[in-house]
Structure 1
Amino acid sequence: MGLRIGVAGAGLVGRLAALALARAEHEVTMFEASDSLSPKSSEPRAAAWTSAGMLSPIAEMETGGSAVRQLGERSLHLWQEIDAHLCAHAKTSSALNSGVGLQLQDSLMVCHGSDLGSAQRVLRLLDGDSARVIKLAADETAALAPGLKTGLHCWRLIGEGHLYPALAMQNLATAVPQVRWRFGEPVLGLTPGCMQLRHGAESFDWVIDARGVGAAREVPVRGVRGEVIVLAAPGFQLHRAVRLLHPRWRVYIVPRPDGQLVIGATEIESEDRSPISVQSTMELLSAAFSIFPSLAEARILWTDVNLRPATPDNLPWVDTEKGLLRLNGMFRHGWLLAPAVIEKALSDANLC
């Protein structure tokens, strides 16, 4: 017989944990501070809603090291299994609206000639993956990214990809109808087997803390500001994420359905949630325009700002005691790391 498990926080970590626990036949109740399954950008919401959904275990070695690489590779396999499960249990027959929008067609890494020195430093860190980091000739680059400015240095990162965060978040929730959702109920604190709510405490066999920066009073986590810009670019042909290597920025452009693109993302040591700054807007758009000149006529649909939960070493934080599991600190790697981190944590706790 399954256990009664309460999950605090319906961000990516909470939804993935709920899916895994429900599939293991536990009785899961999800507590979420916001008022809906898909909260508006104008209200505080999980970092996953703002992210681009890149799955880049090779490229992220530059900042995350081998730990991020190893977990990321495992997550790539898990995302394929999760995507297949969600598609099989979809309530729609449309392939565009099922699954997580998973695209594993590799990614591209580019730099301007003047920045080749900085790019080579990054490439040296990836030297162990030389078979999966392929330097492209000009004609190969043009075939993979037709609008890319000529004269750029370009590398293809084999096996990387991206997904569509909004679709994934929606379907991760709707694929498990047996999970009980309690919206507008922020969790104020957790102890083994107990959740403290505004109206009092509730008991469970296990409780899981997946509140991100909302758990800062109990977990060594801080918020790191990230800003993105979403463009409408009808007719713009891009099927894989493109990452620009620059001495000061790490800018990426990720395609989304319906001719949209996401440009991101800043990384600012601040817990300010105010709208995107002029400086960040200029830097992100200038970087994107410098490699894709045809974006000059694209339209800005919206911008978004959120806080990534980060630990002192910027690596995931897992803490387990009987009846209480805390999962946090996915930082800028949530989509890349969360499936593997959750799989191991639930297994170690004998919950899955």
Structure 2
Amino acid sequence: MNTKTSGPVSVVLGAGLMGRLLAWQLARAGHRVTVYEAGGADAQTSPARIAAAMLAPLAESAITEPSVVEMGRHALTRWPQLLAQLSQPVFFQQEGTLILWHRQDAAEARRFAGQLQVTNEKVPALPKVQALDATGVKQLEPSLENRFAQGLYLPGEGQLDNRQLLAALLHELQALQVELHWNSPRAPQDFQPGTSGQADWLFDCRGLGANAQWGQLRGVRGEVARIHAPEVSLSRPTRLIHPRYPIYIAPKQDHLFVIGATEIESNDLSPPSVRSTLELLSAAYAVHPGFAEARILEIATQCRPTLPDNLPAIRQLGPRCLQINGLYRHGFMISPALLDVVLEYVQAQTTTLAASLNLRVEEAAP
């Protein structure tokens, strides 16, 4: 680890997923880093804390653009490299994604499979979708025997434990002597990077906290349940196709499951409604009856920072001031690509990786 004090000075605003990743890698590269975060060290105000942290570029291609798919491919290679640099273990698996549906939703499943086929043709480097019959579903997930007649398997996709990662990154920041200021909101106008007595670089990773400076940002609300279900055994993230209420179930360690579904155009952070909670848990029960005896550990809401086209962007506020935002629902899947683009830009003041990923790097409007 690099704890030199003679390198460039960098300020990072925001200590969610993107802020922690960037501060950590800058510190490893020899930067003297200071972080300002409006919330606390526990990341309670960050969408990353309630995320399922799935790395599923092919599954997500049904609702997103090829550039996000390419960033997801990048992440599947990059996350193992990043996790290997941590001193604390973080759960990571790459056992693929299972897609299921009930018989009455077969038409919706055919539409979904068609979208994935188009992605496979556009991005041939992605593993091919595999169609499953009832036997194939049972072979992948024995506990689902006789429950689903058909399914799709997306090999190579993965997931990690979001809360373990956030804690491990905090540990690294402390070990690297990064200066951490909790409950200390700051904005880009509080700094003049590159001028005398100021930091060399400023990076704004505040998510929706940057709305005053990036007016196009909006919140997309998500509702997620964390469940302890000793009677449920699933080996990989599983998604249920439904025309109105699709869900995902991400199994973590020790029979902990993260279950989510809803996407509401809102900045509302109030608790979930009874109706949405019932629908979420009922859909999970429809996948596996063992969820009936599960214990609800937490039902949480958060708003993901989203730009009008639902794509991420890096914006230059000045020669040495970058805003990284718009991660939407794909934070864990695309953050390694955004990280590497920023690191490349800091090193060379230009980036070829952004162009290869079709990632927007733009100047802020005056």
The 8 Å contact of residues 13 and 187 in structure 2, kept in 1 or not, is answered as no
Q: CA deviation at 1:146?
A: 2.6
Cα 1:152–1:301 shift into 2, 3 Å: farther
Correspondence 1:347 to 2:351: no
Secondary structure of residue in 1 paired with 2:63: helix
Q: Gapped runs of 5+ residues in structure 1?
A: 91-97, 196-201
Cα 1:275–1:10 shift into 2, 3 Å: same
The 8 Å contact of residues 192 and 322 in structure 1, kept in 2 or not, is answered as no
Correspondence 1:187 to 2:177: no
Where do 1:21-36 residues align within 5 Å? 21-35=26-40
- Over the matched positions of the two proteins, sequence identity in percent amounts to 38
Paired with 1:27 and 1:18, the residues of 2 have a C-alpha distance of 9
Question: 2:164 is matched with which residue: 164, 167, 170?
Answer: 167
Q: CA deviation at 1:235?
A: 3.6
TM-score, scaled relative to structure 1: 0.89
Q: CA deviation at 1:279?
A: 1.8
TM-score, scaled relative to structure 2: 0.86
Paired with 1:319 and 1:137, the residues of 2 have a C-alpha distance of 47
State the one-letter code of the partner of 2:42.
Answer: S
**1:80 aligned partner:** 80
Secondary structure of residue in 1 paired with 2:265: coil
Question: 1:303 is matched with which residue: 282, 291, 299?
Answer: 299
Cα deviation digits, residues 262-315 of structure 1 (max 9, x gap): 110310011110101112112211211112122111121210110100000010
Secondary structure of residue in 2 paired with 1:108: strand
The 8 Å contact of residues 147 and 293 in structure 1, kept in 2 or not, is answered as no
**1:331 aligned partner:** 328
Cα 1:50–1:190 shift into 2, 3 Å: farther
The 8 Å contact of residues 229 and 290 in structure 2, kept in 1 or not, is answered as no
**1:247 aligned partner:** 243
**1:6 aligned partner:** 11
Cα 1:349–1:327 shift into 2, 3 Å: same
The 8 Å contact of residues 133 and 149 in structure 2, kept in 1 or not, is answered as no
Where do 1:1-352 residues align within 5 Å? 2-35=7-40, 37-40=41-44, 45-86=45-86, 89-90=87-88, 98=89, 100-127=90-117, 128-129=119-120, 131-148=127-144, 150-176=147-173, 177-178=175-176, 179-190=178-189, 193-194=192-193, 203-219=198-214, 220-320=216-316, 321-350=318-347
State the one-letter code of the partner of 1:205.
Answer: D
State the one-letter code of the partner of 2:187.
Answer: L
**1:93 aligned partner:** none
State the one-letter code of the partner of 2:67.
Answer: A
Q: CA deviation at 1:57?
A: 0.5
Q: CA deviation at 1:114?
A: 1.4
State the one-letter code of the partner of 1:22.
Answer: A
The 8 Å contact of residues 201 and 321 in structure 2, kept in 1 or not, is answered as yes
Cα 1:74–1:191 shift into 2, 3 Å: farther
